Amino acid sequence: MHNFKFTGNASEYFKIWIVNILLSIGTLGVYSAWAKVRTKKYFYENTWLGEHNFQYHGKSQTNGDL
């Protein structure tokens, strides 16, 4: 039987969260797509099932109208 384990910590996530918030505000929301990917990647890569962690291979999706 495999156990789930999360190896992330609050201080690491806080750094990601604050940078995401500041960049999203500073770019008037343009960065929010990348912020979502960065957050998901952090949680996936710090979640383990047995001896293997999950990987997030998603990319941000923008409409190209920039």
Given this model, what pLDDT does residue 58 score? 82
pTM of the model: 0.83
Q: Which residues of 21-34 are buried (b: 16+ CB within 10 A; e: fewer)?
A: eebbeeeeeebbeb
Q: What is the pLDDT of residues 36-51, one digit of tens each?
A: 999 999 999 999 999 9
Q: Give CA–CA dist 55/3, Å, rounded.
A: 17
